[in-house]
Amino acid sequence: MPPKKSKVVSVYTRCNEYKDIFHVDNNILFCNYCNVSVEWKHKSVVDNHCKSQKHISNVRSQEESHNRTQQLTLSSTRAASESKNQLIEDLIEAFAIADIPLEKVNSLLPFFKKHVKNGGSIPHAPTLRQNYLPNIFDKYYQSLKLLFDSKPMAIIMDETTDDCARSVVNTLFCYCHETKLVSVDFLERVTNTTMG
């Protein structure tokens, strides 16, 4: 009597011996990389297929193309998120320049979604205020600081009376050969304390 086999080998058990290299179709073992059927009854035949030049080069080229696709996806995702941030920051700046409260964005969202490229990614006003506005404020603050950095500036305050006999205090800024009236205050009394 021949010795009893300890393990029954089937096309499925053979396939499971090699992780993610083969699949079984209609009781035939197929190589995922080479797309050819491989005789499975003898392990040595399967091992030889895995060691063949053809198989090794197929594995390498598929892994390379997989990596390339992943890199492409990653860089296009990054570009999309950068253009989305740019759109939102420009929108906030435009609203600030036009003196429009950010709250008004909410009612414009359907319009942006319909007519502006990536308009659907513009969030509601509270998100704009919390996540985007501080960053833009910082940038603007830094650029203002650079503008005035170590340059002479004069503040002029003077008091006069208007045609209703009220005391008017005008405050002017002089900077870079430009003079601007920045505030007009009507005071009850004009003394060195209120002026101070």
Q: Which residues bind Zn ion (CB under 5 A)?
A: 31, 33-34, 55
* Closest CB to Zn ion among residues 52, 142: 52
Helix (H) or strand (E) holding 167: strand 167-175
Closest approach, Cβ 38 to Zn ion, in A, equals: 7
* Closest CB to Zn ion among residues 32, 71: 32
Find where tokens 């009781």 sit. 27
Closest approach, Cβ 55 to Zn ion, in A, equals: 3
d(C-alpha 196, C-alpha 191), whole Å? 8
Closest approach, Cβ 52 to Zn ion, in A, equals: 7
Provide φ and ψ at 156, rounded to 5°: -115, 130
* Closest CB to Zn ion among residues 45, 157: 45
Closest approach, Cβ 125 to Zn ion, in A, equals: 58
- Hey, what are 127's tokens? 């998100």
Provide φ and ψ at 69, rounded to 5°: -60, -40
d(C-alpha 106, C-alpha 68), whole Å? 40
* Closest CB to Zn ion among residues 43, 113: 43
